Structure 1
């Protein structure tokens, strides 16, 4: 009992709650990809319209990530803010089951993106403040990548496809409101307001008072966006996450269609391959950030970024579902890079006072490029050339992310500590 109470610290509690919260966000976002073979037939959609559905959610997600991330830095209660967001997108997801036209479905996707976008900046910035420095990468990787893999890439294709085959695709959307309501209760009861942001805000206010003098006008603090964008790592994180999102969105949106429409896989075989990719994302999603806690963010991003290039390539050239599932699992190691660029590196590069904005900028701009423009243009190209072009685009996005990771400035606390203590030890 004592060991259990010692383990069940607030840090571990909030990691668990955010694991399910973020996992459910991606479950709701991605299930439409696995239901698309059913929806496409029912609503008579072409590839361009399918790309538009992904782009619609991404554009409102992109805008609300930046604005909502900044709002989270200012609101008095991040807990109430998060509960309201979860409740709102859960209701929007439920109403997708009533969509009878493409127009109705795309409007609901726009609404979902509006309320889902701020959840990542809120949860990741709070978790960065509440995490122990030596396990920050692990915590953020587990709640972001592993949750996305378990809920969005394993449970979603297996459970949702099974529900759609048994009861229809509309029922799958109706059921999503249940976990949303449960999550609202747990977040409200467990989460507390982070103290790190309050401490940083108080320190900044005290500095402003101390600097004020009767004869000299106090210097006004610069705008938050300018302050954050002065950091080189933030710019690089935006580029890296944009490339990463091109990679993962092109693969997840058009990969299922390529396997069923071009390679002739059955829906069950397609879901098996995508579930294997999701399992890899779930495992590597926390292993890669955990490795980065020890060897550094930069070498981990470069090393595993290279691995991600081969995931879409395997979809093109591996014909057997079993071998393709194995390849998808192994090459899913690149999924661990996303959380480094999206939240770990930005959160470690700026003051906690700007944590929500620092995470919101890569998420928002990355969504605009990788989540909005990418599926929109890739869907048009797929109609003109063929679905194979989506997988080429996916691989190119991973290559871009890997290249710019070479220019990152290291932020891992353990690595920086070694660099500081080594010269001191040598002098001693």
Structure 2
């Protein structure tokens, strides 16, 4: 009877982690929306904009797996989680004190260090505490929907609104408030999971030594590594350079830019769930291909469309590309490899994708923007989207409902069942 109550521990955990993960991406993306104001104030160029995005991605890609490993060893996961939330909130506040590019860059490196472990830690705790039938929904809701709602919808509207009314320093100062609230609720409401659950869930994976070469033998895995790197290139180029392009090249006001960017976030929140859900019936491959095709609209729409309503509509439609992001990042790798390889398969995909799409891509595109113009990263993003779309046709189908007809089964489908 107790488990039937809505305010169960599982639902409390989902709600707390929904806000925690959302606030992580709110802070991570904040500087992109405020950069048009920061660049004028501090005299920064596009190369430096790219470096600010790259620095965070680099430390994030290292601290994520390392922090996850450390969290498995500490006695109190919730205490570590609460401390990390406080730390990244404090680092976010410190952005408001920055007076030079060097200080901003150091703060981005620090933010990547303290934010990186939060995602694997929240997801692993939630996976342990979720009921079997809710695990997929809980992980997707706390990761994808919160990311879109806070990072792509609320962040541009709220932060730009605050910065316009006051200044960009104040927008960063106020980010300490939700951090204090979240850390309090984590300490009060989150329980340390039973270590036995973790060992039970991972006993198959830890019983064998897994090598990268074994994982890459599976075509879907190395395809996912490439596809995810390419779609990360699209997403990061849009999120890092898009706001500045809209203000400085298109001549939009900061407020109008924030609503244009938020239209992508609204679609991301919807399609981030809808496309993977539909792929259960249509298959991962066709859903990935359609999603990959629509993702190309994102960079092209803000370059070639001048009508604000039409631009927002196309960004909303293009946000369906979030489907291929999620499927190439985790769904297809997990379904393509044996159980003992699944952890490494996902870690490899995310690690390489963050390195190329989140680290190298902003650095290179920032330099190209200074040489050839701020529109250049968006052309690079469109080209990356086209290549990712074409590569999705080489996936092997993995959806459970569709895998029932493997090539071997297809050859024998007319053989009568005795």
Could you say which TM-score interval applies, normalised by the shorter chain?
Answer: 0.7 to 0.9
- Give, in whole Å, the separation in 2 of the partners of 1:373 and 1:384: 17
Change (3 A) 1:17 1:107: same
Superposition pairs of residues 26-425 of structure 1, within 5 angstroms: 26-72=25-71, 78-127=77-126, 137-188=136-187, 189-193=189-193, 196-202=197-203, 221-223=208-210, 228-229=215-216, 231-349=218-336, 357-416=344-403
Contact 1:34 1:256 in 2 (8 A): yes
Change (3 A) 1:427 1:186: farther
- Give, in whole Å, the separation in 1 of the partners of 2:76 and 2:131: 22
SS at match of 1:427: coil
Which structure exhibits the higher relative contact order, with contacts defined as CA atoms closer than 8 Å and separated by 6 or more residues?
1
Change (3 A) 1:390 1:228: same
Change (3 A) 1:121 1:295: farther
Change (3 A) 1:173 1:381: same
> Could you give the per-residue CA deviations for residues 291-342 of structure 1, whole angstroms, max 9, x where no partner exists?
2233333332222111101111111111011211111111111122222222
Contact 1:14 1:190 in 2 (8 A): yes
- Give, in whole Å, the separation in 2 of the partners of 1:128 and 1:9: 16
Change (3 A) 1:20 1:401: farther
- Give, in whole Å, the separation in 2 of the partners of 1:302 and 1:115: 35
Q: For residue 427 of structure 1, what is the aligned residue in structure 2?
A: 417
TM-score (normalizing by structure 2): 0.87
Superposition pairs of residues 4-15 of structure 1, within 5 angstroms: 5-15=4-14
User: Higher mean Cα deviation, 249-258 or 410-419?
Assistant: 410-419
Superposition pairs of residues 16-35 of structure 1, within 5 angstroms: 16-35=15-34
Contact 2:78 2:190 in 1 (8 A): no
Change (3 A) 1:372 1:80: same
- Give, in whole Å, the separation in 1 of the partners of 2:237 and 2:138: 27
Change (3 A) 1:347 1:172: farther
Gaps in structure 2 of 5+ consecutive residues = none
Contact 2:210 2:340 in 1 (8 A): no
User: Higher mean Cα deviation, 231-240 or 110-119?
Assistant: 231-240
User: Higher mean Cα deviation, 38-47 or 62-71?
Assistant: 62-71
> Could you give the per-residue CA deviations for residues 355-412 of structure 1, whole angstroms, max 9, x where no partner exists?
6654433222211111111111111111111112111111122223333333434444
Count the aligned residue pairs: 413
SS at match of 1:99: coil
Q: CA deviation at 1:202?
A: 4.7
SS at match of 2:395: coil
User: Higher mean Cα deviation, 102-111 or 185-194?
Assistant: 185-194
- Give, in whole Å, the separation in 1 of the partners of 2:415 and 2:184: 51
- Give, in whole Å, the separation in 1 of the partners of 2:216 and 2:14: 28
TM-score (normalizing by structure 1): 0.85
User: Higher mean Cα deviation, 286-295 or 101-110?
Assistant: 286-295
- Give, in whole Å, the separation in 1 of the partners of 2:388 and 2:129: 28
Contact 1:72 1:122 in 2 (8 A): yes
SS at match of 1:329: helix
Gaps in structure 1 of 5+ consecutive residues = 209-220
Q: For residue 217 of structure 1, what is the aligned residue in structure 2?
A: none
Contact 1:378 1:389 in 2 (8 A): yes
- Give, in whole Å, the separation in 1 of the partners of 2:335 and 2:141: 17
Contact 2:128 2:193 in 1 (8 A): no
